Amino acid sequence: MSTVATFPHRICPATGRVIATSAESLIKVNAVVAVVALLIGAIAALLLVLTRWQAVHLLPAEWYYRILGVHGMNMLIFFIIYFEMAVLWFASTVLLNARPANPKLGWFSFGLMMAGTLMVEWAQWTGRADVLFTSYPPLKAHPALYLGVILFAVGALTVTGLFFATLVIAKREQRYEGSVPLVVYGAVTAAIIAVITLLHGAMIYIPTFLWSIGLIKSIDPQIYRMIWWALGHSSQQINVAAMVAVWYMLSGLTIGGVVLNEKVSRSAFVLYVLFISMASAHHLLVDPGFGPAWKIVNTSYFMYLAVLASMIHGFTVPAGMELGMRLRGFTDGLFGWLRRAPWGDPGFSSLVFSVVVFGFVGGITGVTIGTEQINIIAHNTMRVPGHFHATVVSGTAMAFMGATYYLLPLIFRRKVAFWGLAKMQPYLFSIGMLLLSMGMTFAGSFGVPRRHWDISFAQSPFEVTFNPAVDIVLAVMGIGGILAVTGALAFIAIAVKSVFFGEAITTWPLGKEIAGIPQGLTMPPVHAANVDELNEQLHDEKRGIAGATPGTLVLVGIFLLAFVVYYFTNWKLLSFLWKVG
Amino acid sequence: MADSPSRGVPESPPFMQRMFDNVFLLLVLGIVIMLVVYTGWGMWEILTMPVGTLP
């Protein structure tokens, strides 16, 4: 890989990588706007959780639904996709020592995305788009909402095209040899899914925009739902691919994690490319317009290949971490490698929490409620947001936060501000999110509907009562939400202070711990002196099925057991609904 | 008979690696599978649904 560059650049003192000046600016600006969107989304989250907590019930109905739309857009679209744009620029330039293709077009695309963002924010905050995140027809919003989303999507699609162009340039200019690194391959996967997603976005938002200005008479609600979800759900699959890429990156940076098997990990990414987008059909499992064949093929047979991919990454990432630690000499017992890991490094703790909560809570609940039969007892209940808060927030957002702790010194060349708080932030955020997700999931299991302002049905002509336990789980959800928002606001404070007022890093001291710089950067993980001997011992056939990573094998066993228990419990619950005999 | 390694000729990567490295092939496959299995089939299901009549 070439580190000689003819374009304006600097050399990273920690990693020795070539960082193109034009790419660096684009990474920074996208990351900063992502954090602003996170701030808006987090404030909205606090208002929502204090409304759904029935004992508090903060907002009036009109503002509840308005803020719910704001929360969805800022968190699921703006925060995540701006950050992913930063990831695409970072992966295609910094990780390949390459220059970006056409940075001017990159800035124009960013401008389009910003214009779209501002239009959507204006329409939502002024009450002109109280149609929730999904904007299902016949609900009609101000045209600015649809046009804003279209502009945003065109900008993001252009950046994705520039990402592919940058890969071509990097190859042509011999910035790398052979295959691209695995982390870049994960970004490639995210970019391909982004194209699929944004194409569907254009397919549905352009006619809906024309409908909103009166040029089209009507929009078929069933067609809208199908195509919209190819945007709404697939956009979260971009997250999954980007998040897994970040997992591999943080694993290497924080503890010297290794890639167990390039072929296996890349095959898993290819499975994502081919099969993950059709998970969108999960949202249509109770819709009358589709037959069981379409539903089952899309959500089971093909979709399980993408689930298989997630389970592969769910094994290879922790196993790579375990093997990396063992090769550094931490060989004691089943979990010595985990006990002696740098838990005070926010990049590492974020990585672990992201993997664990994404897999154990998000993954298990997602596959279960995505089963056609079981979906009938979960659809439109709070189990659905319980699931995706565990994947998108506890998984993706947590991983992105962990990456930020490394990007602040590497790209912004600033120390991480409020270092003591930064060490605690992943714990606060992930514990809060875990409580929130579990509270929502259990409330949903008692039948509590999602997107509902008042589950006491105070002014309705009929009476609905829930199990009294619902009050307790909603309180757990509320407390978890407050903790999680506190964690998110702490992250925002750290990021803003670091970027705009942080201490500049002028010299890069290696070999000692420095407050404000994650340990993986000042003390890069290195293998033990006897690494070859250790490797041979770890791969000795006498170790049997436990192999080189016995600790991970045990963890995976616990995961599978939890999966089986939860899955079959749901079938049991389903049998109560339709008692036979 | 032992094969003698060919010297000086760079070995071509295996077929699967070349396929996995072909970003644009993966892009086309990803789009086509989604458009056929989810979008196209789904549209067909909706558009061929018989019109319901009131009793």
CB of A566 within 8 A of CB of A371?
Answer: no
Domain ranges of chain A: 18-504+539-576
Q: Do B39 and A230 touch (CB under 8 A)?
A: yes
Helix H or strand E segment including A206 = helix A182-212
Distance CA A73, CA A121 (A): 9
Confidence of residue B3 (pLDDT cuts 50, 70, 90): very low
Burial environment of residue A447 by CB neighbours within 10 A (0 to 12, 13 to 18, 19 or more): middle
Question: Has residue A580 got a pLDDT over 80?
Answer: no
Give, in degrees to the nearest 5, the angle at Cα A472 between A468 and A475. Answer: 135
Question: Chain A contact for B29, CB < 8 A?
Answer: yes
Among B28, B29, B34, B36, which would you mutate to test the A interface (most chain A Cβ atoms within 10 Å of its Cβ)?
Answer: B34
A464-477 mean pLDDT: 93
CATH of A18-504+539-576, one of 1.20.210.10, 1.10.3720.10, 1.50.40.10, 3.40.50.300: 1.20.210.10
Whole-prediction pTM = 0.94
CB of A79 within 8 A of CB of A495?
Answer: no
Q: Do B30 and A294 touch (CB under 8 A)?
A: no
Residue-level pLDDT at B1: 39
A187/chain B closest Cα distance in angstroms: 11
Residue-level pLDDT at B2: 43
**pLDDT tens, residue by residue, A513-572:** 899 999 999 999 999 999 999 999 999 988 888 889 999 999 999 999 999 999 999 999
Give, in degrees to the nearest 5, the angle at Cα A242 between A81 and A239. Answer: 55
The residue written with tokens 């890989």 in the block is: A1
A222-247 mean pLDDT: 95
**pLDDT tens, residue by residue, A80-127:** 999 999 999 999 999 999 999 999 999 999 999 999 999 999 999 999
**pLDDT tens, residue by residue, A325-346:** 999 999 999 999 999 999 999 9
Residue-level pLDDT at B8: 64
Question: Has residue A451 got a pLDDT over 50?
Answer: yes
Report the residue of chain A nearest B21, measured CA to CA: A179
DSSP assigned state of A517: B
- Please, what is the average pLDDT of chain B? 85
Residue-level pLDDT at A1: 56
Question: Has residue A392 got a pLDDT over 70?
Answer: yes
For the CA atoms of A62, A66, A71, A77, the dihedral, rounded to the nearest 10 degrees, stands at: 160
Residue-level pLDDT at A509: 80
Residue-level pLDDT at A185: 97
> What is the share, in percent, of chain A residues with pLDDT greater than 90?
88
Query: Who's near A435: CB < 8 A, 6+ residues apart?
Result: A476, A477, A479, A480, A481, A483, A484
Question: Chain A contact for B39, CB < 8 A?
Answer: yes
Distance CA A401, CA A186 (A): 18
Neighbours of A297 (CB within 10 A): 16
Chain A contacts of B31, Cβ < 8 Å? Answer: 195-196, 199
- Please, what is the average pLDDT of chain A? 94
Pick the more confident residue, A509 or A364. Answer: A364
Confidence of residue A156 (pLDDT cuts 50, 70, 90): very high
A189-210 mean pLDDT: 95
Residue-level pLDDT at A6: 81
A364-370 mean pLDDT: 94
